[in-house]
């Protein structure tokens, strides 16, 4: 089986994880910029992080035959200080032309605050200015539905083409909303919170196989870098044929990501 990990935070993982993912059939990993396991004290911390995403991680992945790509932004968790966030935004043009950059992400909301929303809108402006696709993070638990609605409204107000935006971390109560508006939807597979493999397959059965992907996040929390491969196995147990499984774990992400000029596998 071959698959794409469309949302994996490899800076939080060991090199063994790259090896395991390669053995499971992973051909490409896309890493959205996010929290680095700690709040950065200065804009220099982000400069180093963007360098890590665009230089070090692609080299680490290449040792295992995996292509590594990234998205750039300041995540909503660290965007509450709008002045600081704007300093980080000013770094993006310097990195946007690097050969493995896919677009702007993962931007979005964390606690649905005014400042987060203002910085979200400024990221959308940058994406429009540089003609970049967008990857979106939606908030957790009780903030998710409200945050998803706020995000969709902001994108509509900005006249963004929804087919070039993927809204990630959808669950049962937000998947329909996202897909009906013409956006792509991402499901994040977690052993405990967000979607378990079984819940993700249920969502596919309810909302169809169009414009939807699965990812493992493999971040700083309890998460499993092999979650996409394990969910593909779980789909096999439910008697999905090989072609349908490959559509979800490989063809769909490839179709979205090929809208990014730098994505090639
Ligand atoms: Zn993420």
Segments of the chain scoring below 50 in pLDDT:
none
User: Is this prediction's pTM over 0.85?
Assistant: yes
**Cα–chain center distance at 225:** 14
Q: What's the total number of domains in the chain? A: 1
Q: Is 7 inside a domain boundary?
A: yes
97 located within any domain: yes
Task: Say if 22 falls within a structural domain.
Answer: yes
Residues of the domain holding 215: 3-257
Q: Is 70 left (phi over 0), alpha (psi -120 to 50) or beta?
A: beta
Report CA(129)–ligand 1 centroid distance (Å): 24
Cα 61 to middle of ligand 1, angstroms: 18
Cα 256 to averaged position of ligand 1 atoms, centre (Å): 17
Is residue 213 domain-resident? Answer: yes
CATH code assigned at 10: 3.20.20.140
For 40, counting Cβ atoms within 10 Å of its Cβ (0-12 exposed, 13-18 middle, 19+ buried), the class is middle
Report which of 108, 8, 21, 20 is spatially closest to residue 53, judged by C-alpha positions.
8
Domain contains 262: no
- Strands 26-32 and 134-137 turn out to be unpaired
Q: What is the pLDDT of residues 23-38, one digit of tens each?
A: 999 999 999 999 999 9
| CA dist 48 → 36, 176, 262 (Å) | 11, 38, 22
The answer to whether residue 186 sits within a structural domain is yes
What confidence score (pLDDT) does residue 142 get? 85
Residue 26: beta bridge partners?
3
How far is ligand 1, taken at its centre, from the CA of residue 261, in Å?
22
Residue 263 domain-assigned? no
Q: Ligand 1 center to residue 137 CA distance, Å? A: 7
Q: Which residues contact residue 230 at a Cβ distance below 8 angstroms, ignoring those fewer than 6 apart?
A: 189, 197, 224
What pLDDT is attached to residue 191?
A: 84
pLDDT attached to residue 60: 98
Is 140 inside a domain boundary?
yes
């Amino acid at each position: 089986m071959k698959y794409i990990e469309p949302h994996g935070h490899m800076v939080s993982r060991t090199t063994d994880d790259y090896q395991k993912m390669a053995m499971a059939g992973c051909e490409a990993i896309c890493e959205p910029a996010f929290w680095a396991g700690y709040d950065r004290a200065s804009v220099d911390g982000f400069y180093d992080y963007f360098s890590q995403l665009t230089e070090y991680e692609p080299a680490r992945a290449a040792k295992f035959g995996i292509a590594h790509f990234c998205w750039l932004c300041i995540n909503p968790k660290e965007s509450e200080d709008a002045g600081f966030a704007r300093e980080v935004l000013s770094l993006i043009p310097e990195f946007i032309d690097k050969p493995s950059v896919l677009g702007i992400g993962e931007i979005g909301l964390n606690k649905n605050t005014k400042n987060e929303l203002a910085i979200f809108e400024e990221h959308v402006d940058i994406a429009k200015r540089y003609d970049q696709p967008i990857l979106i993070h939606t908030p957790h638990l009780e903030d998710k539905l409200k945050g998803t609605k706020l995000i969709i409204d902001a994108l509509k107000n900005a006249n963004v083409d929804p087919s070039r935006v993927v809204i990630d971390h959808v669950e049962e109560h937000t998947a329909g909303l996202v897909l009906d508006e013409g956006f792509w939807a991402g499901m994040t597979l977690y052993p405990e919170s967000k979607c378990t493999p079984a819940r993700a397959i249920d969502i596919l059965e309810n909302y169809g196989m169009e414009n939807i992907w699965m990812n493992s996040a493999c971040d700083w929390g309890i998460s499993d870098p092999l979650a996409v491969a394990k969910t593909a196995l779980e789909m096999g147990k439910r008697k999905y044929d090989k072609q349908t499984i490959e559509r979800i774990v490989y063809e769909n992400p490839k179709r979205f990501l090929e809208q990014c000029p730098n994505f090639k596998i």
